[in-house]
Amino acid sequence: MLHARVVGSGQAMLFLHGFPLNSRMWEPQIRVLRERARVIAPDFPGFGLSGPPLVEPSLDHYAREVISLLDQLHVERVVVVGLSMGGYVAFRLAEPLGARLVGLVLADTRATPDSADAAAARHELAAEVEAEGVEAAASEFLPKLLGATTLRTQPQLVDRVRAIMLENTVPGVAGALRALAARPDSTALLSQIRCPVACVAGEEDSITPPDIAHEMAARIRDAWTEVIPLAGHLSNLEGPDAFNDVLVTILDQKR
C-alpha cells in the first residue's frame, strides 16, 4: 500500500507528484486546500515514505496502487491533480475511475510518449542512478525542472526541491525512469474525459511548455488552460498562489 498524507474533510482531492520528487512537493497546496477538501497525497513506490516497488513499475501499476488507496479510504468521487509524471498517471486513472472522476488538473504534463532518444536517455540515467545513487537524477533534473526566474531569484526553493529529490530511493527512482520510458500514448483518452479539466503550465516550463497545455485542452470536451506566470515545470511550487486559485476553481466546478 502506498504511503499517503491524508488531511482535511469534504470532497476528496488526490495529488500525484512529479519525478523525481514525492508528496512533499504539494505542501503549499495541502496547507490551503485542507481547509476546503479531503486532501490525499500519496508517494509512488520507492518515493518519500512509500516502500520499495515490489514489481517492475509501470504507470498502469502506479494507477492500480492509487485506486487501491482510494478504495481503502472509501473515496467515491475524486478530483485528481497530477503534475508531470503525476499527470501521466492521471491519464491511466481516467478510464478505471470513470464517473468517480469529477474534476482533473493536468499540470505541466503531456499525453504523448517519449521519443526513442528520450527513452534511451532515461534507461542510461536509470543505470547511473543504480551505480551512483539518486544524486545523479537530482543533478540532471533540478536545472531543467525549475524556471529561469526561480533559478535566479529563489535559492531557498532550489535547495528545498533538491532536498525532496534526495529523500527518494534508488529502486524508486530507477524504476520510475524505466516506467516513464515505457509509457503509452494517452492522447486518445483525452476526448473521453467527461469532467471539468484545467490544463496548467508554467510560463517558463521548458519540458512541457504552455503550447502543450493548450493542445491538450483543445482535445478535451470541458477544459481550459491556465498559464502560471514566471513559473517553470514545477508550477505548483514556483507560483503557488496562482496554482492554488486553479485548484479552488476546479473544486467549485466539479459535477
The residue ranges that bind ligand MLT (CB under 6 A) are: 18-19, 84-85, 145, 180, 207, 233
For 18, phi then psi, to 5°, come to -90, 180
CA dihedral 173→29→105→140, nearest 10 degrees, is -30
C-beta closer to ligand MLT: residue 40 or 125? 125
C-beta closer to ligand MLT: residue 84 or 225? 84
Q: Which three cell numbers stand for residue 144?
A: 531543467
CA distance 163 to 240: 19
Closest contact distance (angstroms) between CB of 223 and ligand MLT is 20
Closest contact distance (angstroms) between CB of 255 and ligand MLT is 28
Closest contact distance (angstroms) between CB of 162 and ligand MLT is 14
Contact criterion met (CB below 8 Å) for 127 and 102: no
C-beta closer to ligand MLT: residue 40 or 176? 176
The dihedral sign for the CA sequence 155, 156, 157, 163: positive
C-beta closer to ligand MLT: residue 115 or 156? 115
Closest contact distance (angstroms) between CB of 9 and ligand MLT is 29
Which residues fall within 8 angstroms of residue 89, CB to CB, at 6 or more apart?
16, 44, 59, 62, 63, 66, 82
CA distance 161 to 155: 10
CA distance 172 to 130: 10
C-beta closer to ligand MLT: residue 90 or 242? 90
Which residue in 245, 250, 242 sits closest to 224, CA to CA? 250
C-beta closer to ligand MLT: residue 75 or 105? 105
Closest contact distance (angstroms) between CB of 252 and ligand MLT is 27
Closest contact distance (angstroms) between CB of 126 and ligand MLT is 12
